[in-house]
Structure 1
Amino acid sequence: MAQYLLGIDNGSTVSKAALFDLHGREIAVASCKADTEYPHPGWTERDMEMLWQSTATAIRAVLAKSGVKPEEIAGIGNTGHGNGVYLLDKQGCPLRNGIQSMDSRAAGVVTEWNQRNLHAQVFPFTTQSFWPAQPNALLVWLKKNEPRNYERLGAILMVKDYIKYRLTGEVTGDYTDMSATSLMDVRNKNYSRELMALYDLSEAYDALPPLKQSSEVCGQVTTIAAKETGLAVGTPVVGGLFDVDASAIGAGAINVNQACLVMGSWSINEVITKEPIVDPSLFMTTLFADPGLFLTIEGSATSATNLEWFVNQCCGDERAEAKRRGISVYEVCSEEVASLPPGSTNIIFHPFLYGSNVQPTARAGFYGVAGWHTRAHLLRALYEGVVFGHLNHIEKLRAAGGQINTARLAGGGSRSAVWSQMFADTIQVPMEISDGNELGARGAALSAGIGAGIYRNYAEAVQEAVSVVRVHEPIPANTPLYLARYAEYERLIKVMQEPWEALSKLD
Structure 2
Amino acid sequence: MSFVIGIDKGTSVIKAVVFDVSGRDCGSSQRRMEVLRPQPGWHEEDPERTWRLCVETIKEAVAAAGISGSDIKGVGIAAHMGGAWIIDKDGQAVRNAVCWPDERAQAEQMALERAGLLDRIFAISGNGLMPGITLMVLAWLSRHEPDILDRAHVVLCAKDYLRYRLTGGLATDPSDVSFVPGDIDRREHSAELMSLCGAGDWVERMPRILESGEVAGGISANAATETGLSVGTPVVTGLGDASANALGVGRMRPGDALTVLGTSCLNSLILAKPNRDPPGLGFLFAMPCERYIRILPNTSGTITMDWFLERFGGPKKPDGTWDFSAMEQLAGAVPRGAGGVLLLPYVNGSGVLAPFFDARARGSFFGVGSHTTRDHLLRAVYEALCFSTRDCFESMPVKPSSLTLTGGGSRSAFWAQMFADICRLPIEVSSAKESGALGVALLAGVATGLWPNLETAIGQTVQTVARYEPDPQAQPEYEGWFSLFREARDVYRGYSGRRADLTSGALTA
TM-score (norm 1): 0.91
**Alignment partner, residue 123 of structure 2:** 124
Alpha-carbon deviation of 1:160?
Answer: 0.4
How far off its partner does 1:371 sit?
4.2
What residue is the counterpart of 1:72 in the other structure? 71
Displacement of 1:344: 7.5
Where does 1:274-285 land on structure 2 (aligned, <5 Å)? 274-279=272-277, 280-285=279-284
Give, as a single letter, the amino acid of the residue that structure 2 aligns with 1:489: F
Residue 415 of structure 2 is matched in structure 1 by 419
**8 Å CA contact 2:243, 2:286 repeated in 1:** no
Instruction: Give 1:313 deviation, angstroms.
Output: 4.5
Name the CA distance, whole Å, in 1 between partners of 2:374 and 2:401.
35
Displacement after TM superposition at 1:457 (Å): 2.7
CA shift in 2, pair 1:117/1:33, >3 Å: same
Alignment match, 2:243: 245
Aligned twin of 2:175: 176
Q: CA deviation at 1:378?
A: 3.4
Match for residue 368 of structure 1?
Answer: 367
**2: CA distance between counterparts of 1:286 and 1:447?**
17
The residue aligned with 1:302 is 300
Pairwise mapping of residues 88-99 of structure 1 onto structure 2 (< 5 A)?
Answer: 88-99=87-98
> Match of 1:253, SS?
coil
The CA deviation at 1:402 is: 2.8
- In structure 2, the CA distance between the partners of 1:187 and 1:61, relative to structure 1 (3 Å rule), is same
Does the CA contact (< 8 Å) of 1:86 and 1:97 recur in 2?
Answer: yes
Give the aligned length.
Answer: 497
Encode CA deviations 1:70-89: one digit per residue, 9 max, x unaligned.
11111100011110011122
Cα contact 1:298–1:394 (8 A) shared by 2:
yes
Query: 1:235 deviation in Å?
Result: 0.6
> Residue type of the partner of 1:445?
A
Match of 2:487 among 488, 491, 496: 491
**Structure 2 CA distance for aligned equivalents of residues 373 and 144 of structure 1:** 48
Structure 1 partner of 2:186: 188
TM-aligned CA distance change 1:76 to 1:343, over 3 Å: same
Counterpart of 2:255 in structure 1 is 257
Moved more, 202-211 or 16-25: 202-211
Question: Structure 2: which amino acid aligns with 1:423?
Answer: F
Per-residue deviation at 1:445? Answer: 1.2
Query: In the alignment, is the contact (CA less than 8 A) between 1:282 and 1:396 conserved in 2?
Result: no
Measure the CA separation in 2 of the matches of 1:147 and 1:312.
38
| Offset at residue 405 of structure 1 (A) | 2.3
Cα distance, 1:194–1:72 mapped onto 2, change above 3 Å: same
Q: Superposition RMSD on alpha carbons, in Å?
A: 2.4
Tell me, in whole angstroms, the C-alpha distance in 2 between the residues paired with 1:108 and 1:331.
Answer: 42
Cα pair distance change 1:149/1:502, threshold 3 Å: closer
| Equivalent-residue separation in structure 2 for 1:506 and 1:48 (angstroms) | 34
Name the aligned partner's letter for residue 206 of structure 1.
E
Letter in 2 for 1:20: F
Return closer, same or farther for 1:190/1:360 CA change in 2, 3 Å cut-off: closer
* Residue aligning to 1:331: 325
Q: Which residue of 2 aligns with 1:352?
A: 346
Mapped partners of 2:91, 2:338: distance in 1 = 60
Q: Which runs of 5+ in 2 are unaligned?
A: 505-509
Distance 1:227 1:376, change over 3 A: same
1:323 Cα deviation from its structure 2 partner: 4.9
Contact residue 255 and residue 272 of structure 1 kept, 8 A: yes
Using the alignment, how far apart are the partners of 2:49 and 2:206 within structure 1?
A: 24
- Residue of structure 1 in register with 2:467 after alignment: 471
What is the SS of the residue equivalent to 1:60?
helix
Match of 1:8 in 2: 7
Whichever residue aligns with residue 227 of structure 1, its letter is T
Query: Counterpart of 1:6 in 2: which secondary structure?
Result: strand
- CA offsets, 1:224-255, max 9 Å, x none? 11011111111100010010111122222222
Contact 1:14–1:34 (8 Å) recurs in 2: yes
Q: 1:381 to 1:199 in 2, by over 3 A?
A: closer
List per-residue Cα deviations over 1:380-422 (Å, max 9, x = no partner).
Answer: 332211111111211222xxx2331222101222122121112
Letter of the structure 2 residue corresponding to residue 268 of structure 1: L
Q: Which residue of 2 aligns with 1:38?
A: 37
CA contact (8 A) 1:303 1:389 kept: no
Greater CA drift, 337-346 or 73-82 = 337-346
- TM-score calculated relative to the size of structure 2: 0.91
SS at match of 1:291: helix
Is contact 1:217–1:237 with CA below 8 Å preserved after alignment? yes
Counterpart-to-counterpart distance in 2, 1:306 and 1:120:
30
- Maintained 8 Å contact 1:70/1:232: yes
How far apart in 2 are the matches of 1:313 and 1:364? Answer: 14
**What secondary structure sits across from 2:290 in the alignment?**
coil
* SS of the residue 1:270 aligns to: strand
C-alpha distance in structure 2 between counterparts of 1:441 and 1:506, whole Å: 41
Measured in 2, the distance between the counterparts of 1:305 and 1:503 equals 22
Aligned to 1:221: 219
240-249 or 437-446, larger mean C-alpha shift: 437-446
1:342 positional shift: 4.0
The answer to whether the 8 Å contact 2:126/2:280 transfers is no
Alignment-derived partner of residue 57 in structure 1 = 56
Name stretches of at least 5 consecutive residues in structure 1 with no aligned partner: none
Query: Contact conserved, 1:157 with 1:173, CA < 8 A, in 2?
Result: yes
1:143 equivalenced with 2:142 (yes/no): yes
Following TM superposition, by how much is the alpha carbon of 1:442 offset from its aligned partner in structure 2, in angstroms? 1.4
